[in-house]
Structure 1
Amino acid sequence: MNIGRRLIPLTAIAGLAALSACSATASGSVSSGGKLKVTASFYPMQYLAEQIGGSHVSVTELTKPGVEPHDLELTPRQVGALGESDVIVYLKGLQPAVDEAIAQSGVKYAADAAALTGLEDHGTEVDGKHHTTGDNDTGSTTEEDAGADPHIWLDPVKYAEVAKGVEKTLAKADPDHAAAYAKNLKTLTGKLDALNTEFTAGLKNRTSDTFITTHAAFGYLAERYGLIEEAISGIDPESEPSAARMKALHELAQKKKITTVFFETLVSDKTAKTLAGDLNLKTDVLDPIEGITSKSKGTDYLQVQQSNLKALQKALGAN
């Protein structure tokens, strides 16, 4: 993720936060209109807030559909609106512009997904071995890949852990509806438990463990179900693979008898299709679910995850 992207100046953020504080509730509880005002940094956080909050919340997403979350730049209007939130749900480290704005917002209740479950390092993998720094053997692309992998929502078990933390935050901000939030959480975690069971059973009888993706978004999912993710690029979807990395993938695809190179909906598929063409492999979509668009294979998180499962079953020869 490119930390050097343009951010709103701190002075502007502070000024807007001060102005917005005048219209926010003094206690940080339910705003006028009867609904808790929740701001979610991007789709996976929005989904949790909506599923748990139900009819008692009004959720605004900072990252619009079709925008790659890592690329987000906040407008002054968005920064001002952020300061009027009752609750913010975000994932620290994924979007530097959001992290900076939240730090200046003065909002009392914030749920940071990165603090609600354990994060791990997932860099570019080579033959199942973890590498996070660039060298001629691995072809890994940037030192940034050595950082913690933020894609926790792609593991249903970790996502459920985050959901529990979000529910606690909503309940603190709006204790009058705590029972409803607890009930909604139980329903959501039940769905995520069922999804985990689907993945476990659906990938049990497979002929291969290894899959290739455009960038390393599926490390948690792979670890959960005993798979090996081989990413063309690292954690940053915009990083370019080295010649050594491409050579390693050519050799790996032949050695592991890989059939498919996966690309995703919000990032260019050019490199994936080039690699697939060189090796006469198929291409398919494996969606990191960073946003839902008309190109998504499903209308929400659960549906897209089920589509991901079907794609992996096909690529890995699972019955």
Structure 2
Amino acid sequence: MSRSRLLVPALATSVLVLSACGALTEDDAGTASGDARTVAAALYPLEYVAERVAGDVLDVENLTAPGGEPHDLTLDVRETALVTDAALVLHVDSLQPAVDEAVEENATGEVLDAASVVDLLPFEGHEDHDHAHEEEEAEGEAAEEEAHEGHEGHDHGEMDPHFWQDPVRMATLGDAVADRLAEIVPEEADTFRANAEALRADLEQLDEEYVTGLADCATYTVVTNHDAFGYLEKYGLHLESIAGISPDAEPTPAALAELQALIEEEGITTVFSESLVSPKTAQTLADDAGVDTAVLDTVEGLTDETADEDYLSLMRANLATLQEANGC
């Protein structure tokens, strides 16, 4: 066979490849690069919002595998490719360093940092107490400062990324996701915004359930394993953590002694461990204080046990657990 005859099919193949590339660019639904059909969400709460808003229009992929601890996430080749190719990457800046790095170095589509739209609160303050019991909080302020001293890994002044414990902030994120997706797929803008409105209705209903469900409790102090539930203070709760910001941090003996004294003083019945992290430290404190333990779901990710649940059901289960422990 002559060399010229061999070149003909090769050239034809090249033309087809170039034509296909051109077709992808034309059908890119408003994005200069990235996969117009995929949203990459850094962890479950973001995945939940993205799925509710995107509906059937786009696929949503979670970068954190079920059962994985989001704070410790590392990205493999597949997950890095998702960040690179997604039409939209949804993350929380500074929560998952591996995701932040991949976004900065690899993302070719749109990026939405949830922290930029939901008004994060500092770990130290949590002053967004819409329904707070001001008198009880004033009395507990000194005890809070003392209990926080000596908590290794508790970095005062940093912003608390666990905003999904507040359903209203989740609704705000849903609106922002709808706006961004409307830019990416303009012809589906009405669909995205209608989905966001439906999501907001569900989340505002959940918020009202927390308001009424925690309105009359025997105690409002809650001791948890690490500082992941501070946004619940808007409902009048006073949160104390054993390990501070990092779920893996080891509390000092002085911090444990202060918490044990607080448990006795305020008649706390339960120390809460959390999903996705070891309950050992919480169990030790509970045993020393002679109280019960229970589990609060951080709602950071699903597990084998919660695979059939979703954000709304997990938050409602947490509410029921808090009501039982705090005599509400």
TM above 0.5, yes or no, is yes
Corresponding residue of 1:59: 60
Q: CA deviation at 1:121?
A: 1.6
Q: Note the aligned Cα RMSD (angstroms).
A: 2.8
When you count helix as a share of all residues, which structure comes out higher?
2
2:231 pairs with one of 198, 220, 241: 220
The yes-or-no answer on 1:176 pairing with 2:176 is no
Q: What pairs up with 1:1-319 in 2 under 5 angstroms?
A: 25=25, 29=30, 36-123=37-124, 127-129=140-142, 138-142=149-153, 144-222=155-233, 224-296=234-306, 299-318=309-328
Cα separation, partners in 2 of 1:171 and 1:124, compared to 1, 3 Å: closer
Q: 5+ unaligned residues in a row in structure 1: which ranges?
A: 1-20
Structure 2 CA distance for partners of 1:128 and 1:287, relative to 1, 3 Å: farther
Unpaired runs of 5+ residues, structure 2, are 1-20, 127-136
Letter of the 1:158 counterpart: R
Deviation (angstroms), 1:295: 2.8
Q: Distance in 2 between matches of 1:153 and 1:299?
A: 16
Deviations 1:208-261 (A, max 9, x none): 110100001010112x10110010011111111111110110110001100000
1:297 to 1:210, Cα distance in 2 relative to 1, 3 A: farther
Matched-pair contact (CA < 8 Å) for 1:40–1:89: yes
Q: Is the 8 A contact 1:124 1:131 kept in 2?
A: no
One-letter code aligned to 1:175: P
Alpha carbons of structure 1 residues 143 and 264: separation in structure 2 relative to 1, 3 Å: closer
Bigger Cα displacement from structure 2, 164-173 vs 250-259? 164-173
Bigger-Rg structure (1/2): 2
Find the aligned partners of 2:282 and 2:124 in 1 and give their Cα distance: 18
Amino acid at match of 2:161: P
Shift of 1:23: 11
Do 2:150 and 2:251's aligned partners in 1 also have CA atoms closer than 8 Å? yes
Partner of 1:255, secondary structure, is helix
On the 8 A contact 2:218/2:326 being kept in 1, the answer is yes
Distance 1:214 1:144 in 2: 16
Determine what percentage of the aligned residue pairs are the same residue: 37
Range that drifts further, 156-165 or 60-69: 156-165
TM-score with structure 1 length normalisation? 0.85
Q: In structure 1, what is the Cα distance between the partners aligned to 2:142 and 2:37? A: 45
Matched residue SS, 2:93: coil
**What displacement does 1:161 show?**
1.2
The separation in 2 between residues aligned to 1:299 and 1:136, in whole angstroms, is 34
Q: Matched residues in 2 for 1:25 and 1:144: separation?
A: 46
